[in-house]
């Protein structure tokens, strides 16, 4: 009786605490109560680290300081421990970041009542240009748009399977909504979702995410969408109606990096940039990997870091340091190398096996000897099972990778028959459609692998217009005088 009474009292206390923190008045989710009880019983957290509340994380922008935090693992489910830190130096005020460690996954199917991992973590870096409006809007809306594109009633494996499609829809919807406001700024976006040992990264622009796996091998989880360096993107932009060239000065000399005209943007993909033209697309490169239970470290940063340091140099500069100090060290090393010429933002996330308190030092080894072992490439279709056990230290399983800019390829049906939306819902904006309104994403597309325009997913007329504009099938963009 006394034990039961004590448990009830503790539950009531946590429920009252939860309501006080969130301002809510409804029932508290069981997962939240369990998490709160676990937090009160845990006394091994390092005293030098602090936790950022979800409310603070949502509002986080660039400052001349570093922040850090810790997310506890549910050891019963053998989830990894996440420790993270963020540091930044501001020059223009156009870099922003997002740190969310307790995002609830959409309702799990009743067929899987015991499905583990009810929450996931999100880390993002947004590097704005021509103003900060696009970066702020993306920080505040992208996650919700991704979740709204996710079908309900999924098991955890199905959730991970559908993430690449939902990320594409969320990026495009965010871009479409921001462009409708008529503002001309733009932003890169590197958006990282961590669910257990699985990491899914979606990115446009040149903010980068690298993985420093145990064993010392550094792997790139993003692709830089810079016209100067990406031949495939240059060809896509010119085929869609853009012009690529350098800035011309008096006397006919050409200087600087390759840019897209009109607009003069150096990037081939971004969110916003309505004055450049919609052949600068928001369709992200997406990569999904699964770590072994040895864990690893993610470094997510804006180009203020990568213009100064290589991926290997950034990883090496902070090995052996806890995440919060590691983020500060990477920024410090970038400033030492190049100086403060741009906003410089870095997030470090350590994915640590249960039972460990810190991420151990990864001894550097030659990439050439490990390259064939680090990634075991899977098929592009993420329907492959995500439950493969890992025993070798440092092995990373690649589950999904796709970088096409064509929505007919990115939103198409998978082999299991599940689609992002029904016949009467737009796959991008999620608006309900009349039976006669839906337009197949494959209709009229010469790039589509499907020759059946009656196949879903379907788009509303506005999203179909945007798709056509991105593929150069109609004029788009607002010319700013």
pLDDT tens string 285-339:
999 999 988 899 999 999 999 999 999 999 999 999 999 999 999 999 999 999 9
Higher pLDDT, 29 or 120: 120
Instruction: Kindly report which listed range (22-36, 50-64, 146-160, 463-477) carries the lowest average pLDDT score.
Output: 50-64
Q: Which domains does the chain have, with CATH numbers?
A: 78-106+117-355+394-404 (3.60.40.10), 421-480 (no CATH)
Q: What is the pLDDT of residue 274?
A: 92
CB within 8 Å of 327: residues ≥ 6 apart: 66, 68, 85, 86, 87, 318, 346, 347, 348
Q: Indicate whether 49 pLDDT > 50.
A: no
Instruction: Kindly report which listed range (32-46, 265-279, 299-313, 466-480) carries the lowest average pLDDT score.
Output: 32-46
Element (H, E) at 213: strand 208-213
Rounded to whole angstroms, what are the CA distances from 461 to 18, 173, 432, 437, 467?
43, 14, 12, 7, 10
347: helix, strand or coil: strand
**Residues facing residue 95 across a β-bridge:** 127
Q: What is the DSSP string of 141-169?
A: HHHHHHHHTSPSSB-HHHHHHHHHHHHHH
Q: What is the pLDDT of residue 437?
A: 77
User: Contact, 278 vs 469, CB < 8 A?
Assistant: yes
* Mean pLDDT for all residues in the chain: 77
pTM of the predicted protein model: 0.77
- For residue 91, what is the DSSP state? S
Angle formed at CA 170 by CA 167 and CA 173, multiple of 5 degrees? 150
Tell me the per-residue pLDDT of 155-188, one tens digit each, with 9 for 90 and over. Answer: 889 999 999 999 999 999 999 999 999 999 999 9
């Amino acid at each position: 009786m006394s034990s039961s009474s004590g448990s009830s009292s503790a539950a009531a206390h946590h429920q009252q605490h939860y309501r006080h923190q969130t301002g809510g008045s409804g029932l508290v989710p069981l997962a939240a109560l369990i998490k709160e009880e676990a937090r009160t019983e845990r006394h091994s957290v390092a005293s030098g680290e602090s936790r950022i509340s979800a409310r603070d994380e949502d509002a986080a922008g660039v400052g001349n300081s570093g922040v850090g935090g810790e997310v506890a693992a549910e050891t019963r489910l053998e989830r990894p421990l996440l420790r993270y830190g963020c540091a930044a130096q501001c020059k223009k005020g156009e870099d922003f970041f997002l740190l969310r460690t307790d995002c609830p996954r959409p309702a799990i199917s009743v067929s899987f009542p015991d499905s583990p991992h009810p929450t996931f973590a999100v880390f993002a870096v947004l590097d704005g240009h021509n103003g900060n409006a696009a970066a702020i809007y993306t920080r505040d809306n992208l996650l919700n748009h991704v979740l709204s594109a996710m079908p309900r009633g999924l098991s955890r494996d199905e959730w991970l399977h559908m993430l690449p499609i939902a990320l594409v829809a969320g990026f495009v919807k965010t871009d479409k909504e921001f462009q409708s406001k008529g503002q001309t700024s733009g932003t890169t976006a590197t958006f990282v979702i961590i669910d257990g040992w699985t990491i899914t990264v979606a990115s446009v622009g040149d903010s980068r995410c690298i993985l420093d796996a145990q064993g010392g091998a550094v792997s790139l989880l993003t692709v830089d969408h810079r016209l100067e360096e990406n031949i495939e993107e240059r060809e896509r932009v010119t085929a869609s109606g853009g012009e690529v060239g350098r800035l011309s000065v008096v006397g006919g000399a050409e200087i600087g990096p390759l840019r897209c005209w009109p607009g003069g943007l150096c990037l081939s993909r971004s969110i916003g940039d309505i004055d450049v033209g919609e052949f600068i697309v928001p369709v992200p490169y997406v990569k999904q990997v699964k770590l072994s239970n040895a864990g690893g470290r993610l470094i997510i940063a804006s180009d203020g870091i990568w213009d100064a340091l290589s991926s290997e140099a950034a990883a090496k500069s902070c090995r052996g340091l806890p995440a919060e100090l590691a983020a500060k060290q990477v920024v410090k090393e970038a400033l030492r190398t190049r100086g403060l010429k741009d906003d410089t933002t870095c997030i470090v996330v350590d994915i640590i096996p249960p039972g460990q308190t810190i991420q151990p030092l990864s001894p550097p080894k030659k990439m050439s000897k490990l390259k064939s072992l680090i990634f075991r490439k899977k098929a592009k279709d993420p329907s492959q099972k995500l439950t493969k056990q890992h025993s070798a230290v440092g092995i990373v399983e690649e589950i999904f990778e796709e970088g096409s800019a064509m929505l007919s390829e990115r939103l198409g049906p998978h082999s299991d028959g599940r689609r992002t939306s029904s016949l009467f819902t737009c796959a991008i904006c999620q608006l309900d459609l009349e039976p006669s309104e839906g337009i197949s994403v494959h209709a009229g597309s010469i790039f589509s692998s499907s020759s059946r325009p009656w196949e879903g997913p379907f788009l509303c007329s506005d999203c179909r217009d945007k798709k056509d504009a991105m593929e150069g099938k109609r004029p788009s963009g607002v010319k700013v005088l």
